[in-house]
Amino acid sequence: MTDDIRFGIIGCGGIGTFHAEILQSVPHARLVAVMDILPERAQQVSARFGVAGYDAYPEMLARTDLDVVTVCTPSGLHAEHGMQAARAGKHVLCEKPMDIFVERIDDLVATCRTAGVVLGGIFQNRFPIALQQTKRAIVDGWLGDIIFANGSCLWYRTQEYYDSGAWRGTWTLDGGTLSNQGIHTIDRLVWLTGMTPTVRAAYCPTLCRDMEAEDLGIALLTFPNGAGGVLQSTTLANPGIATNVTICGTKGTVVVEDNAVTYFQAEGAPDNLVTVERPGSTGGAADPAAAWGGAHAANIEEFVAALRENREPSVNAQEARKAVQVLNDIYRVAQLGPWAV
């Protein structure tokens, strides 16, 4: 494939607009249309980027000059909007999480397979160079056998944040802190360790915010090789601190804060194996807009490359599903919302 990949975006809120900005500089990608159920929002974004704007999804999907739909709607609508795009013959790139429920992701996968279109996900925090180096170092055995892996997402969101959209904090469309904010930390634990943990215990109350889902989530994890770990996420940690993933093995340890590796030591490892930086900004800890970070472009570029090379993207459905499986397992163990027996 030599021509540009032509993108449409469904959902013109903050993250959808951010995708539109990124697509302006992604090689071999071109934004041609945007859609939102709020006509004024669709018109605003379409005017800003000089593309067609729609308030009816079928109308955008009917375009013949549309190759990919980027799904940037509330999480609980991701699979449904992705399936509609697939049935229209469009490839699908879905923001995190691919959906709140793994069963819906499986339906999306089946629909995309039947339609013969490519399905990719957004987990941009896999793409910073230092994180790619860390993943390779772990795969190559520099940390030895992993003995524990902990993840922490201690952020702050006000009640106004949850009141800004009727979908926020609901079981139908969003989930709580683990689903919206902590999902990146879950994904990073699963991706870096190369293992999907079992959830042994979970405590996920709603302590302070007026919302359906949890504003604090804590889970005890065990990994297939016997390693242990703890996952914690909240939107009540005023003023919010950097996310943290710590992985310890028999030969070394790595600490990741936000999108930087702040500590890496491994027996016999060369000095330049992993780029280590000093701790920096807290990113999206207190500012939702800053949470998107700087690696979306690399994630989308890799998806475009996969289409052009006729291959699966690195964040494919199987990869994107893993974090949601752990999320659902946590909710099931905690007996929350739709997972309560």
What does the pLDDT look like over 185-212, one tens digit per residue?
A: 999 999 999 999 999 999 999 999 999 9
Q: Are residues 237 and 151 in the same domain?
A: yes
Q: Are residues 264 and 305 in the same domain?
A: no
Q: 């069963």: which residue's tokens? A: 103
Q: Are residues 268 and 182 in the same domain?
A: yes
What does the pLDDT look like over 156-189, one tens digit per residue?
A: 999 999 999 999 999 999 999 999 999 999 999 9
CATH code for the domain of 301: 3.40.50.720
What pLDDT does residue 293 have? Answer: 53
- Residue 39: which residues within 8 A CB-CB, separation 6 or more? 55
Q: Are residues 176 and 119 in the same domain?
A: no
Q: 């807009």: which residue's tokens? A: 289
- Residue 274: which residues within 8 A CB-CB, separation 6 or more? 130, 133, 134, 137, 254, 261, 264
Q: Are residues 331 and 229 in the same domain?
A: yes
Which of 338, 321, 334 has the alpha carbon at shortest distance from 108? Answer: 321
CATH code for the domain of 241: 3.30.360.10
Is pLDDT of 287 > 70? no
According to DSSP, the residues that pair with 251 across neighbouring strands are none
Q: 């060369």: which residue's tokens? A: 270
Token pair of 204 as six digits: 């996920």
d(CA 148, CA 254): 11
Q: Are residues 186 and 329 in the same domain?
A: yes
Q: Are 334 and 202 in contact (CB under 8 A)?
A: yes
Mean per-residue pLDDT of the chain: 95
Q: Are residues 81 and 228 in the same domain?
A: no
Q: Are residues 279 and 134 in the same domain?
A: yes
d(CA 331, CA 325): 10
Q: Are residues 120 and 140 in the same domain?
A: no
Q: Are residues 75 and 12 in the same domain?
A: yes
Read off the amino acid at residue 125. N
**How many domains does the chain fold into?**
2
What is the extent of the structural domain holding 73?
Answer: 5-124+296-315
Q: Are residues 93 and 164 in the same domain?
A: no
pTM of the model: 0.94
Q: Are residues 216 and 86 in the same domain?
A: no
More confident residue, 278 or 26: 26
Burial class (CB in 10 A: 0-12, 13-18, 19+), 222: middle
Residue 207: how many other CB atoms lie within 10 Å:
9
Token pair of 195 as six digits: 């293992």
Q: Are 98 and 78 in contact (CB under 8 A)?
A: yes
